[in-house]
């Protein structure tokens, strides 16, 4: 029996773990790598034959976990993709949109897309919805359970029961005490544990502190400087939470009423899915004047708004989509602000801005970064170091093997060391494509 780490090993994106039982081979996640030319190359070839994979267990819908499923299908995968019902609904929104972005990027750069919209839609026929906490039998020798990970809507911790072994894959764990989503479900035991470490070397500020920071950024820009606030945000999860929090600040009178544009068709669709499963809906009473823009003409009109607006758009790491147009029109304006509310992976445009790049290239042109840059890390949907250790404390006995994944090297090694210091467990950070005999 072998576990191989094809992605998210020493980095955050590209989650993909292969389990070979000797009888069958299956994947937990099949995510896209993000961040520059090196990521692009890794997205174009699998280290395995897609036709040999029996099924996929998908922890959640974010593209760095689901984004290569269309390519897997296009290369011959014929099995089922098991995921929660909410994840299946979100994948219907996200994967065709990803295919559209691949086509546009290929058109811009004169290459070929990693996959097309049509291939993304074709892959959706492979998705099978499952319920939280129910026993699922993807194969006669495999039983699994999906537990609520509290990261985004539908996100899961996956428990896999094999003959003589129990494997637990944390997926992306959420920070406890957040709006809209539940806290991560405790898990009591595992023989082999694979745990994420995105923020394994730091603690988030409290939600109250993050609300204060967000209020300051909005007031400083909208009231004092008379500019616009640009918020790059993942269309799924992060956009809905930011809407919730800004509306709360408005209702409390802590920030002025303003026009809030959500410029992402995918965010609108994701907001509808969120309402379907959680009951939450963005409210306008006493809050900002929320406007969802769907067609391109409405998106272009936003470019003429020179002050008093908050613009939320995807992608969250500024790697593609409409956010790049809003950056082009606002990034060189000192009265404006760029507010980052999520993790920015190494090599991405968002990371370069956060790291203080004096200028960035957008659509073939260099633009100076004169807008104020705010990073509000406490709004992350990922558990911080304390929350990760708190979740790990729920195990009644040490796993035989603990693998620390989905973190840049500093974060992953810091969490590994913290696990050893606090629990005395043996933990390791895998190398890309490293295989471990179970």
Mean pLDDT of 50-73: 97
Strand partners, 136: 144
CATH number at 132 reads 3.60.15.10
The per-residue pLDDT for 334 is 98
| 399: nearest Cα among 360, 428, 356 | 428
- Mean pLDDT for the chain? 94
Q: Do 246 and 357 fall within a single domain? A: yes
Q: Do 264 and 348 fall within a single domain? A: yes
CATH number at 344 reads 3.40.50.10890
For the residues of 360-394, what is the DSSP string, one character each?
EEETTEEEE--SEEEE-GGG-SS-BHHHHHHHHTT
The per-residue pLDDT for 285 is 58
Q: Do 187 and 309 fall within a single domain? A: no
Q: Do 194 and 211 fall within a single domain? A: no
Q: pLDDT tens digit string along 368-411?
A: 999 999 999 788 889 999 999 999 999 999 999 999 999 999 99
The lowest-confidence range among 37-41, 87-91, 289-293 is 37-41
Q: Do 131 and 276 fall within a single domain? A: no
The per-residue pLDDT for 321 is 82
Which of 379, 397, 417 marks a domain boundary?
379
CB 387 within 8 A of CB 350: no
Mean pLDDT of 172-180: 93
| 267: nearest Cα among 305, 316, 301, 302 | 316
Domain that residue 97 falls in: 2-202+381-437
The per-residue pLDDT for 151 is 95
Q: pLDDT tens digit string along 139-157?
A: 999 999 999 999 999 999 9
Q: Which two tokens stand for residue 13?
A: 């994106």
Q: Tell me: cis bond preceding 141? Omega within 30 of 0 counts.
A: no
Q: Tell me: cis bond preceding 315? Omega within 30 of 0 counts.
A: yes
Q: pLDDT tens digit string along 326-379?
A: 999 999 999 999 999 988 988 899 999 999 999 999 999 999 999 999 999 788
Residue 422 has pLDDT above 80, yes or no: yes
Q: How far apart are CA 367 and CA 349, in angstroms?
A: 12
Strands, E, within 201-305: which ranges?
Answer: 229-232, 259-263, 289-293
How many distinct structural domains can be found in the chain? Answer: 2
Q: How far apart are CA 387 and CA 333, in angstroms?
A: 38
Q: pLDDT tens digit string along 109-122?
A: 888 999 999 999 99
Mean pLDDT of 34-63: 93
Q: Do 375 and 386 fall within a single domain? A: no
Which of 360, 379, 398 marks a domain boundary?
379
Specify the higher pLDDT residue, 35 or 97: 97
Q: Do 396 and 309 fall within a single domain? A: no
Which of 336, 351, 379 marks a domain boundary?
379
Q: Do 317 and 405 fall within a single domain? A: no
Q: Do 181 and 293 fall within a single domain? A: no
Q: pLDDT tens digit string along 159-168?
A: 999 999 999 9
Q: Do 9 and 113 fall within a single domain? A: yes
Q: Which distant-in-sequence residues (6+ apart) come within 8 Å of 197 by Cβ?
A: 388, 404, 405, 406, 407, 411, 412, 414, 415, 416
Q: Do 264 and 394 fall within a single domain? A: no
Q: Do 158 and 12 fall within a single domain? A: yes
Residue 284 has pLDDT above 60, yes or no: no
């Amino acid at each position: 029996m072998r576990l191989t780490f094809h992605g998210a090993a020493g980095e955050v994106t590209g989650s993909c773990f292969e389990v070979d039982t000797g009888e069958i081979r299956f994947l937990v996640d099949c995510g896209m790598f993000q961040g520059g030319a090196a990521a692009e190359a890794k997205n174009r070839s699998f280290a395995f034959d897609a036709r040999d994979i029996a099924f996929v267990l998908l922890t959640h819908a974010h593209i760095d976990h689901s984004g290569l499923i269309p390519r897997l299908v296009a290369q011959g995968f014929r099995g089922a993709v098991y995921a929660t019902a909410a994840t299946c609904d979100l994948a219907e929104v996200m994967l065709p949109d990803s295919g559209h972005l691949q086509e546009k990027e290929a058109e811009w750069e004169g290459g070929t897309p990693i996959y097309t919209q049509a291939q993304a839609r074709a892959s959706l026929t492979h998705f099978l919805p499952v319920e939280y906490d129910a026993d699922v039998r993807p194969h006669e020798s495999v039983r699994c359970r999906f537990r609520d990970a509290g990261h985004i809507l539908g996100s899961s911790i996956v428990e896999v029961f094999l003959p003589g072994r129990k494997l637990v894959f944390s997926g992306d764990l959420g920070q406890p005490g957040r709006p809209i989503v539940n806290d991560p479900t405790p898990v009591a035991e595992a023989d082999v544990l694979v745990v994420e470490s995105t923020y394994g070397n730091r603690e988030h500020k409290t939600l109250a502190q993050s609300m204060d920071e967000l209020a300051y950024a909005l007031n400083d820009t909208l009231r004092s400087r008379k500019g616009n606030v640009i918020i790059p945000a993942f269309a799924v999860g992060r956009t809905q939470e930011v809407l919730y929090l800004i509306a709360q600040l408005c209702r409390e009178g802590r920030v002025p009423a303003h026009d809030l544009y959500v410029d992402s068709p995918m965010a609108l669709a994701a907001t509808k899915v969120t309402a379907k499963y959680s009951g939450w809906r963005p409210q306008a009473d006493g809050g900002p004047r929320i406007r969802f823009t769907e067609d391109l003409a409405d998106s272009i009109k936003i470019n003429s708004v020179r002050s008093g607006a908050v613009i939320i758009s995807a992608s969250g790491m500024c790697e593609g989509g409409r956010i790049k147009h809003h950056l082009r029109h606002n990034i060189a304006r000192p009265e404006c602000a760029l507010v980052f509310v999520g993790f920015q992976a190494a090599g991405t445009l968002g990371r370069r801005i956060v790291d203080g790049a004096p200028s960035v290239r957008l659509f073939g042109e260099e633009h100076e970064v004169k807008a104020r840059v705010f990073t509000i890390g406490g709004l992350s949907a990922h558990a911080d170091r304390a929350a990760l250790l708190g979740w790990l404390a729920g195990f009644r006995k040490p796993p035989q093997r603990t693998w620390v994944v989905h973190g840049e090297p500093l974060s992953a090694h810091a969490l590994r060391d913290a696990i050893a210091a606090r629990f005395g467990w043996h933990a390791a950070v895998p190398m890309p494509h490293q295989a471990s005999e179970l």
